[in-house]
């Protein structure tokens, strides 16, 4: 009789434990990658997407791009002047992808990709390649314009509210004469209370 009671109690504990574990397990679902993300105040996917889109559309209307000569541009760094880690390369990659899709801008290899480009050019000079099909050294096309920018943030908080203001600035510089040909800004305010 005593053994039977002990056996039942273990069974009840096991069922309860399973219920608790089952209740705590997290559900995984796919979401909309373009939806408005407000998990916390940190720089997020919506900020990245909104900034990239605003800069791209503005640049498409600039005289340098709108005149249809398909200028050659290289992408330089966007300086992160905020207090948090932001992969600014992800922003410029999105801008570059959208501009390329528009068919109105061409991109020259940038500083970040230069080592890989030189390595490939030098590799093609080896005896393993048909030299009539190999890319010759000295034919790379230089950029006419360079894109660079910065992102800053102003953070303020009190006991009840935390406010973050981001300002993203992008500039298109003429490499030959050093003139600033286009610039635009996008600002974002987020508040947590």
- 49 forms part of the interface with another protein (CB under 8 A): yes
Q: Which residues, in sequence order, are CB contacts of 101 under 8 Å at separation 6+?
A: none
The strand pair at 72-80 and 145-157 is best described as parallel
Minimum distance of another protein from residue 104's CB (angstroms): 7
Nearest to 84 by CA among 161, 184, 190: 190
Nearer to another protein, 33 or 178 (CB): 33
Please identify, among the stretches 5-13, 80-88, 99-107, 158-166, the one whose residues bind another protein according to the rule CB under 8 A.
Answer: 99-107
Nearest to 54 by CA among 185, 150, 152: 185
CA gap 30, 23 in Å, rounded: 20
CA gap 170, 185 in Å, rounded: 6
CA gap 100, 117 in Å, rounded: 19
Determine contact, residues 92/168, Cβ cutoff 8 Å. no
Please identify, among the stretches 19-27, 52-60, 112-120, 123-131, the one whose residues bind another protein according to the rule CB under 8 A.
Answer: 52-60
- Residue 159's SS3 state is coil
The contact pattern for another protein, residues 59-88, with x = CB under 8 A and - = no contact, is: -xx----xxx--------------------
Minimum distance of another protein from residue 98's CB (angstroms): 6
Determine contact, residues 184/59, Cβ cutoff 8 Å. yes
Please identify, among the stretches 14-22, 47-55, 147-155, 167-175, the one whose residues bind another protein according to the rule CB under 8 A.
Answer: 47-55
- 167 forms part of the interface with another protein (CB under 8 A): no
CA gap 170, 92 in Å, rounded: 10
- 46 forms part of the interface with another protein (CB under 8 A): yes
Minimum distance of another protein from residue 64's CB (angstroms): 12
Please identify, among the stretches 7-15, 18-26, 48-56, 119-127, the one whose residues bind another protein according to the rule CB under 8 A.
Answer: 48-56
Q: Which residue of 98, 163, 181, 185 would you call a contact of another protein, by CB under 8 A?
A: 98
Residues that bind another protein (CB under 8 A): 32, 34-36, 46, 49-50, 53, 56-57, 60-61, 66-68, 98, 101-104
């Amino acid at each position: 009789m005593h053994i039977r009671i002990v056996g039942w109690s273990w069974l009840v504990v096991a069922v309860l434990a399973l219920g608790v574990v089952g209740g705590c397990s997290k559900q995984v679902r796919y979401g909309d990658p373009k939806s408005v993300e407000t998990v916390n105040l940190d720089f997020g996917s919506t900020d990245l997407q909104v900034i990239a889109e605003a800069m791209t559309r503005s640049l498409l209307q600039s005289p340098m791009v709108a005149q249809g000569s398909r200028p050659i541009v290289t992408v330089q760094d966007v300086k992160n002047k905020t207090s948090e880690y932001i992969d600014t390369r992800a922003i410029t990659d999105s801008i570059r992808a959208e501009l390329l899709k528009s068919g109105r801008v061409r991109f020259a290899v940038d500083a970040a990709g230069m080592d890989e480009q030189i390595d490939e050019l030098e590799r093609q000079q080896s005896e393993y390649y048909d030299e009539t099909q190999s890319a010759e050294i000295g034919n790379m096309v230089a950029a006419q314009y360079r894109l660079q920018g910065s992102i800053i943030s102003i953070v303020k908080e009190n006991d009840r509210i935390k406010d973050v203001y981001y300002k993203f600035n992008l500039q298109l510089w003429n490499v030959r004469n050093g003139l600033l040909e286009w610039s635009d800004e996008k600002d974002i305010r987020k508040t947590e209370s």
